[in-house]
Amino acid sequence: MAGNEPLLLTDEQMRKFIAEGFLILKTDFPKQFHDRLMEQLDKVYKEEGNPGNNLLPRIRELQKVFDHPVITGALTSVLGPRYMLHAHRHGHFNAIPTAGGWHKDSYWGYSRLRNHHPWWAMVMYFPQDTPVELGPTGVMPGTQNYETRTFESDDTAGEALASGEAGTFALIHYDLWHRSTPNLLGRPRYMLKFEFMRTTAPDGPSWDNRENNWSTPDKLNLPIARHELMWEETWSWLRGKVGAMANTMPGDPQAIQALAAQLEDGFEPTALNAAYELACRGTGAVNRLLEALRHENIRVSRLAAYGLSVSGEEAVNGLISALDDTRTETVCHAAFALGELRHAAASAMPKLIALLGHPSELVRRTVTEAVSIIREPADEAVNGLIRALQDSDVQVRFMAGLSLTRFGAAAAAAVPYLEKALDDENRYVRAHAAEALRYIGTDRAKDALIKELFNLRWCSNTTPANTFYP
């Protein structure tokens, strides 16, 4: 078995992940490890049903999978060294000969603008040999940045399958379109899905980075479209740069006019490419994106927000002005873009904090996340998130807990409020409050967390059939 040091991804692997939205990798556990894992899974599913979020404590040996250097290295590379294993996890069991529908996973009911930058990722782990006939997960390469499916519901052209020996796993961008495929053999097939979140924006590469510049990988499988500018911008973002593509192309008025028209194209990949190219073409193009932010078609407004989110400081004042718009979607799209601009959008913090009192839950949810990504000034941001922790909307509260993980000890003032959130009626608000206490890491935070975990201590041997002994 490999050593304990994370096995970081190479430049070529990172480029493939950026473009295709996934990698198929493999751990090197011995066969006996997976045989024991399968025995435990069969027993738990037969006697108790799906353990859901208790998958790890119920099957303790599974933690070794997520301590394996291939997995820790892949997650560190994509999400940074302080990545978080999310409280939501699920063991998917499949023994039927029909395929599932293409879908993106939700954020547990949280309605949010999906990230192009890799803030979230999933690991789909296969503990048994999974040939194509056993029904591995199928993914549609390159679709992680599409809100619409862009292909027919029964289309499998270009589909990639997470097929392989026991220990194979798919590392996927959280928003990649995927599905279950038919299990033609009828034998039990498990896929163990775990979700992970980046807790800090990148300030430099976290993979085995040897080359500064983006270059398109050879032999890409992209059945829908190519997005060279988007890929290059994501590569730069992962290397710690904000607005790296701004003003890198001529501000030709005719080109800008043509691109602005393409924002309305019904084929989402074409419109996305236009948004990213406009972000590269200076003041005139950014102004067209700001106009499109208020377009009557919400889809066009959303696409403009993606372009503005990578336009650099040039876009900040216009986005701050858009926070006053009367349309909820426009405000959400502007707040999202400001968040992605991070420290370049620090001047937006007072207005964003004020929006935490907005009557729309959608606005408050979006602003809660944006405030935590901008982070500056930290005291104002933390005070705003303390307010969000007490919001009437459960989704604002659980995003506030997640957001506070991004501040470390700078969020110490939130600890008393996180202690109260440990008693929230919602499981994810409680879980996120616990995570925030862990990342804050002060003595009081650790004491509160230890007390909470000790009160909830779990006995992995206790089942309805085995209540006390042995």
Instruction: Check whether 222 has a pLDDT greater than 90.
Output: yes
pLDDT confidence band for 175 (50 / 70 / 90): very high
436 and 404 in contact (C-beta within 8 Å)?
yes
- For residue 288, give the DSSP letter: H
- The CATH superfamily label for domain 242-339 reads Leucine-rich Repeat Variant (1.25.10.10)
Q: What is the pLDDT of residue 467?
A: 74
Which residue has better confidence, 95 or 240? Answer: 240
Lowest mean pLDDT among 55-64, 375-384, 407-416, 436-445: 55-64
Give span(s): CATH 2.60.120.620, the chain.
11-197
Q: What is the pLDDT of residue 96?
A: 86
- Nearest-angstrom CA–CA distance, 185 and 245: 49
Please give the average per-residue pLDDT across 317-342, as a whole number: 98
- Write the pLDDT tens digit of every residue in 401-457: 999 999 999 999 999 999 999 999 999 999 999 999 999 999 999 999 999 999 888
Cis upstream peptide for 470 (omega within 30°): yes
Tokens of 222: 């992209």
Helix (H) / strand (E) element for 334: namely helix 328-340
319 and 290 in contact (C-beta within 8 Å)?
yes
94 and 183 in contact (C-beta within 8 Å)?
yes
% of residues, the chain, pLDDT over 90: 87
- The CATH superfamily label for domain 11-197 reads q2cbj1_9rhob like domain (2.60.120.620)
Lowest mean pLDDT among 26-40, 115-129, 148-162, 353-367: 148-162
Q: What is the pLDDT of residue 106?
A: 84
Please give the average per-residue pLDDT across 346-374, as a whole number: 97
Lowest mean pLDDT among 11-15, 29-33, 284-288, 466-470: 466-470
Q: What is the pLDDT of residue 422?
A: 96
pLDDT confidence band for 107 (50 / 70 / 90): confident
Please give the average per-residue pLDDT across 69-85, as a whole number: 97
Q: What is the pLDDT of residue 469?
A: 62
Please give the average per-residue pLDDT across 161-187, as a whole number: 96
Instruction: Check whether 399 has a pLDDT greater than 70.
Output: yes
Please give the average per-residue pLDDT across 122-145, as a whole number: 96
Q: What is the pLDDT of residue 109?
A: 61
% of residues, the chain, pLDDT over 70: 98
Instruction: Check whether 266 has a pLDDT greater than 70.
Output: yes
Instruction: Check whether 329 has a pLDDT greater than 70.
Output: yes
Q: What is the pLDDT of residue 432?
A: 95
Lowest mean pLDDT among 124-138, 326-340, 419-433, 449-463: 449-463
Q: Maximum Cα–Cα distance for the chain, whole Å?
A: 78
- Chain centroid to CA 394: how far? 20
Instruction: Check whether 307 has a pLDDT greater than 80.
Output: yes
Q: What is the pLDDT of residue 466?
A: 74
Tokens of 26: 């493999």
Instruction: Check whether 2 has a pLDDT greater than 70.
Output: no
Please give the average per-residue pLDDT across 302-308, as a whole number: 98
The reported pTM is: 0.95
Tokens of 145: 């940045």
Sign of CA dihedral 95, 101, 104, 105: negative
What residues have CB less than 8 Å from 334, skipping those under 6 apart? 293, 305, 308, 319, 320, 322, 323, 325
Q: What is the pLDDT of residue 456?
A: 83
394 and 429 in contact (C-beta within 8 Å)?
yes
What residues have CB less than 8 Å from 339, skipping those under 6 apart? 309, 345, 369, 370, 371, 372, 373, 374
Give span(s): CATH 1.25.10.10, the chain.
242-339
pLDDT confidence band for 3 (50 / 70 / 90): low
Please give the average per-residue pLDDT across 317-343, as a whole number: 97
